[in-house]
Amino acid sequence: MNIPTIKNLKLKNKSVLLRIDINSPVVKSKILNNPRFEASAKTIKYLLDKDAKVTIIAHQGRKGDKDFTSLEQHAKILSKYVKSNIKYIPSLFEEKAKSSILSLKSKQAVLLKNVREYEDETNLKLKDNRYPKFCKLFDIYVNEAFSVSHRAQGSIIIPPKYLKSVIGLECESEIKALEKFKKSKAKSKVFILGGSKAEDYFPLFNFLKNKNNKLLAAGVLANLFLIAKGYNLGYESQWLKQNNFLPLIPKLKSIYTKYENQIILPLDFAFLSKEGKRVEFTLENAPFKYKIYDVGKNTLNLYKDELRYTDYIFMKGPLGFSEIREFSFPTVSLLKTISSLTKNKKLFSLLGGGHLNTTIKKHKIPKNFSYNSLSGGALIKYISGEKLPGIEAIKNKKWI
């Protein structure tokens, strides 16, 4: 791995700019805890233990979205994991932030204002962008935000132009695991793709060029493939139309035609009855009157059978609404199977995304997986061979 890491540095009394990703769900104005806090805390603690002065920057949501808010609560959650007070400073480029940064002592850390509050973050062509001047306050830049490194944004790609730059501990672990997946000479790989972010999965279809690889589809992606095949899913078809997914149909139809024997689609689905119970119907019963909440038991058994014939598994997204008790069983059961197969060294397993992490924690599934990533879009782009701007900005630094 030809990328400089935090372990290459002498950190005593150094002023470090640390970019992390602690973007979290927000419920009733409360920031929910998630594994990203614990992951980021490892690098923060490492820096503080090495007597560094740490300034942390991060984002939460996007302007205009419901989850766009300050990082004040994040600082409190981080403090618990780091076991050291991380003070929140409601400022970034302003004088208040500058004075706080310059007054830091070794083993102290502050968290600054949400970077997406500023146009400097999203508009790199902004005249008088303040990041270059901001970077003069630091000796070192650390990227511990692999999950947003596929975005060419200010806090990701500008600091490496002006500072000694490395990746953090979790970022290093992530890249090593993904490189193992990319370079694997496994005879076959199975991709289990669920959830709602169907468009994110397009780069992965290139893996189907290997005729031994298979795609097990669930969620929005599976439903779109079925519509592309000519099925009318009833309520679900209308929902997909209302949420502007139908423009993806022509491309998915072309992909399915090309790789029909490698793309496995659901045989049955689960719905919520009027009595509030789980009911299942086979695909032959389409069109359906109600929204699809999950795959059925026949589909689950089919997908579990497919895992017997592979060396590597990549899973991203749940099979259904796994956060609802009645619709958690297929996702939980499949994860348990993957965990067991990994433990018995029958395959390499790579999981991605927050939903699966939440499900694993909630249902206490044994964490035997080869690697459990907290990333989404960046993860998919990386294993698909695309270059990430944030990682490329740090690669091959001559100062090492």
Interval 211-239 mean pLDDT: 96
**Co-location of 223 and 119 in the same domain:** no
Residues 193 and 384: beta-carbon distance below 8 Å: no
Whether the predicted pLDDT of 396 surpasses 80: no
**Co-location of 241 and 151 in the same domain:** no
Interval 116-120 mean pLDDT: 95
**Co-location of 230 and 288 in the same domain:** yes
Number of domains in the chain: 2
Q: Has residue 217 been placed in a domain?
A: yes
pLDDT digits (tens, 9 = 90+) for 335-345: 999 999 999 98
**Co-location of 151 and 246 in the same domain:** no
Q: Has residue 219 been placed in a domain?
A: yes
Burial class (CB in 10 A: 0-12, 13-18, 19+), 62: exposed
**What pLDDT sits at residue 398?**
57
**Co-location of 143 and 207 in the same domain:** no
Q: Has residue 31 been placed in a domain?
A: yes
pLDDT digits (tens, 9 = 90+) for 333-377: 999 999 999 999 888 999 987 788 888 888 999 999 999 998 888
> Which structural domain, as residue segments, surrounds residue 305?
184-369
**Co-location of 338 and 359 in the same domain:** yes
**Co-location of 113 and 235 in the same domain:** no
**Co-location of 118 and 155 in the same domain:** yes
**Co-location of 223 and 309 in the same domain:** yes
**Co-location of 297 and 329 in the same domain:** yes
pLDDT digits (tens, 9 = 90+) for 289-330: 999 999 999 999 999 999 988 999 999 999 999 888 899 999
CATH number for 362:
3.40.50.1260
pLDDT digits (tens, 9 = 90+) for 35-86: 899 999 999 999 999 999 999 999 999 888 888 999 999 999 999 999 999 9
**What pLDDT sits at residue 400?**
47
Sequence-distant (≥ 6) Cβ neighbours of residue 88 within 8 angstroms: 70, 71, 72, 74, 75, 76, 110, 111
